[in-house]
């Protein structure tokens, strides 16, 4: 899975909102400064998160942004889908809509399994867990696997 800058920024911004004391309003500039996200890019991301009903905003000198519901109810998958669309897309299509013939036919099952694996992590990690540094045991266990941190070179 390739995580785009937009997805990375969106998740970081949402976590920053989750970390706000008492769910208070946070100005876009404060998020931008805290997470080194370009302000104009962040404003577009926040708009997409508002359109997805994950974030609400208040205008004015005392305004800002906050999560529209508790951080424990918003998963990383929710944020990713809001700014990037469905998880596990294959050539612009949902895996179940891809049709392969002949010897490539089993690839459909591979892409479905990849999407299921992404969901297993991203749909079970909430903004609250990230903001508090308390990831689910299953996710932490994955990071402790012997080869989890090992880079693999591209085949030549």
Strands 64-67, 55-58: pairing is antiparallel
Report the C-alpha gap between 7 and 98 in whole angstroms. 24
Widest distance between CA atoms in the chain: 62
Instruction: Report pTM.
Output: 0.91
Structural domain 5-85+125-143, CATH architecture: Orthogonal Bundle (1.10)
pLDDT digits (tens, 9 = 90+) for 45-84: 999 999 999 999 999 888 999 999 999 999 999 999 999 9
pLDDT digits (tens, 9 = 90+) for 82-113: 999 999 888 888 888 999 999 999 999 999 99
Tokens 């999407």, residue located: 115
- Domain extents for the chain? 5-85+125-143
Residue-by-residue DSSP string for 70-91: -GGG-BHHHHHHHHH-SSS-BT
- Give 60's DSSP letter: S
């Amino acid at each position: 899975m390739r995580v785009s800058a937009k997805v990375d920024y969106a998740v970081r911004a949402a976590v920053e909102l989750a970390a706000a004391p008492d769910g208070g309003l946070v100005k876009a500039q404060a998020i931008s400064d805290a997470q080194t996200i370009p302000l104009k890019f962040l404003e577009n991301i926040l708009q997409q998160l508002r359109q997805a009903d994950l974030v609400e905003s208040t205008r004015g000198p005392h305004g800002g942004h906050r999560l529209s519901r508790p951080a424990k109810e918003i998963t990383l998958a929710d944020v990713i889908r809001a700014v990037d669309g469905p998880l596990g897309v294959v050539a612009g299509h949902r895996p179940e809509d891809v049709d392969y013939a002949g010897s490539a036919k089993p690839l459909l099952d591979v892409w479905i399994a990849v999407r299921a694996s992404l969901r297993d992590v991203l749909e079970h990690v909430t903004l609250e867990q990230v903001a508090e540094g308390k990831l689910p045991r299953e996710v932490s266990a994955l990071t402790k696997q012997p080869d989890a941190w090992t880079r693999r070179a591209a085949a030549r």
